[in-house]
Amino acid sequence: MKHEISELEWNDYLDGQAPVELRDHIEAHMIGCLECWEFYERLSEATRELGAASEEARLGLPLEDRRMHAMLRGIFSRIKPAGMKSQVEGRLNLLEEVLAPFCGAQAAQSALEAAAQNSPARSLDQVTPENWEPFLDRLSAIAGAMCGATFAGLIRESGRL
Ligand SMILES: [Zn+2]
């Protein structure tokens, strides 16, 4: 991976599990690298929102801590630094992974398809970077109706191209 920081190292750093030398290395690098700094800022924001969403979900759904943690790590490993162009397919997979633990795999897939059908893309395989924004708008609205406003915000953050 570029910038000499692996996904595993980012995960450990964001989890607060990085050893001192790694922490120093990442922080020293971020001071001089705007791209990684912005990446970190985005992840911190997503982490906070996901924490809040998890809290909401915990009140209504029997999600185990371990499962939630596994999901968090899965999400982190898929969010790439801003400079690395994300592919639509990768974003769709990520959105499905964010949705599925909250509403089930079937409903997650249905939500993605409904969002595509009700946006200019018209179908999931026609979603492109050019029609991504209206698609994401629809998906956020659907996610909001299913799981609440915090969750809709999380979907929006996760789906940013
Ligand atoms: Zn960097």
Q: What is the pLDDT of residues 110-122, one digit of tens each?
A: 889 889 999 999 9
pLDDT at 82: 42
Who surrounds ion ligand 1 at CB < 5 A? 3, 33, 36
Residues 6 or more apart whose CB falls under 8 angstroms from that of 77 comprise 7, 11
DSSP 129: S
Cα 106 to ligand 1 centre (Å) = 38
Cα 30 to ligand 1 centre (Å) = 6
- pTM reported for the whole predicted model: 0.49
